[in-house]
Amino acid sequence: MKNVALHNLGCKVNGYEMDVMQQMLQEKGYKIVSFDEEADIYIVNTCTVTNIADRKSRQMLHKAKKRNPKAIVVAVGCYVQTGGEEALKEAGVDLAVGNNKKKDLVEILEKFLKEKEAGEAIIDIGKTNEFEEMRLKGTSGHTRAYIKIQDGCNQFCSYCIIPYARGRVRSRKEEDILNEIRGLAEGGCKEAVLTGIHISSYGTDRGGRDLTSLIQAIHAIEGIRRIRLGSLEPGIVTEGFAKKLRSLPKLCPHFHLSLQSGCDATLRRMNRRYTTGEYFEKVGILRDYFENPAITTDVIVGFPGETEAEFAETTAFLEKIKFYEMHIFKYSKRKGTRAASMEHQVADGIKTARSNLLISMGKGHSIEYRKGFLGQEQEALFEEEKNIEGRRFQVGHTRQYIKVAKMSEKSLSNEIFAGKVIGFLSDDMMLLE
C-alpha cells in the first residue's frame, strides 16, 4: 500500500475536486497521510489565479520533492493547465494532470507507476464542451457540502487568467447534481453550497434549465435543510430571480455579489459588465425581498490606473452599501492577462495603504451588520466544539453565515437549534443564549 500526501491551493472548486480525488484514491486502497509526512506520492492541486499563486504552487511542489526526493510528485489543475512544460520541469514534477482530467487521476497515476516514465495528461481546455463529472460521496464533517455545478467562464475580465485555465462555461447535468446531493443528504449532510467558477451562467450552455430551476429542484430533496449560493454576478439578480428565491425557505439569505471596484472607470478597464449604479440597484432588490440579507463581496485595490480620485469613489461606494463582509485583494499581475501590460501600474506601498483602509472599514461594517441581530432569535447549524477560556461551546453558523457559539456540554454537531443572540463572544463570533 502506497502513502499519498495531498495539498490543495486555491478556490472552493479546487477544494471540492481535491475531496473527490482523495475519495477515489482511498477507494483504490491508497493510504492518505499528512503533507508534512514522508510519503511515496505527493499530489498538489495547484492554483494560477495570480503570479503569487503560481509561486505558491511551485513552492509546494519543490517542498514535496525536498521532503522525499524518491517520491513521485504529481501536479494537478490550473497551474498545470497554463504553466507549460518549462514551468513543470522547473518544479521537478514527475506527472502533470490538467483540468478535466482530475476524474481520471487514479488511472493516470497507476499507468505512470507501471511505466515509470514522466508524463502529462493535459487537454486543450478551451476546446472542450465536456463537464468533468466527479461525485462526492461524503464529507468529513457531514454538516456542509460544497457541490460543483459548473466549470469555466466566458467573461474574460482583463485581470483574470481563469478562462484560459478552466475553459469555457460547461454546466453539470441537473440529475447528476441532484443524485450527488441526495447521497450526501442520506449520509447526514444538512447544507448544500453550490459552487463553480461562474455559477450565474449555469445552464446557459445547455438551454432550458437555469440556476433558479436547479435550486428549486434541490429544495425538494429530503434531508437538505439549507441551500447556500457561491459567488454570483450582479446581472443575475432581477426582481423575478429574487421573488423565486424568496419562496424557497431552505435558501439562505446570504449573497456574495462580486464587485471588484466601486468606480465605473476602473470597472471598464477591468472589463466588468455592469456599472456601480446597476450594482447598487441589484443590492436594493435583494434587500427588498429578503429581511436583512448578508451581502458580501470582493474588491481589488490598486488596479492599473487607479488614481486617488478613483479609489475615493470606491471608498464612498462601499460606505454607501455597507457589506456584511468584504474580501480585499491587492491587485497582483498575472502574466497572460491584458491588465499585466496596462500602463500606470500602482506602487505596492499605495496598494497596501488602500487595502488596509478598506479592511478596517470592512471590519466596522461587519460589526455594525451583526449588531442588528442582537436580541433576535436566530437558527444555527452547529459544526464543531471549542473550549474558550475554559468553557465548552458549540460553534456554528446562522443562515446569514454569522459565526455563533452556544455554551453546552452536549455536542450539537450537525444539529440545528434556534437561540437568542445576546452579544459578542469575540470580534468574529456572536453568542447564542
Amino acid at residue number 178: L
- Measuring CA to CA, which residue among 432, 430, 411, 428 is closest to residue 420? 432
pLDDT of residue 390: 85
- Measuring CA to CA, which residue among 39, 79, 35 is closest to residue 58? 79
pLDDT of residue 27: 95
Kindly list the strands in the beta sheet with 226-229, ordered across the sheet, starting from the edge strand earlier in the chain.
170-171, 144-151, 191-196, 226-229
Q: Which residues of the chain are in CATH 3.40.50.12160 domains?
A: 3-123
pLDDT of residue 409: 87
Return the SS3 of 364.
helix
pLDDT of residue 401: 98
Percentages (nearest 5) of helix, strand, coil residues in the chain: 40, 25, 35
- Measuring CA to CA, which residue among 360, 270, 262 is closest to residue 314? 262
157-216 residue pLDDT tens? 999 999 999 999 999 999 999 999 999 999 999 999 999 999 999 999 987 789 999 999
Q: Which stretches in the chain have pLDDT values below 70? A: 84-87, 117-119, 141-142
Three cell numbers at 262? 466601486
Strands 41-46 vs 72-77: parallel, antiparallel or unpaired: parallel
pLDDT of residue 117: 67
For 207-233, give the DSSP string.
SS--HHHHHHHHHTSTT--EEEE-EE-
For 307-358, give the DSSP string.
-HHHHHHHHHHHHHH--SEEEEEE----TTSGGGG-SSPPPHHHHHHHHHHH
Rounded to whole angstroms, how far apart are CA atoms 202 and 210? 6
Contact yes or no for 274/235 (Cβ under 8 A): yes
Contact yes or no for 381/413 (Cβ under 8 A): no
What CATH architecture applies to the domain 3-123?
A: 3-Layer(aba) Sandwich (3.40)
As separate numbers, helices (DSSP H) first and strands (DSSP E) second, the chain gives: 12, 19
Three cell numbers at 282? 441589484
pLDDT of residue 158: 98
Three cell numbers at 432? 447564542
Rounded to whole angstroms, how far apart are CA atoms 280 and 309? 20
pLDDT of residue 356: 98
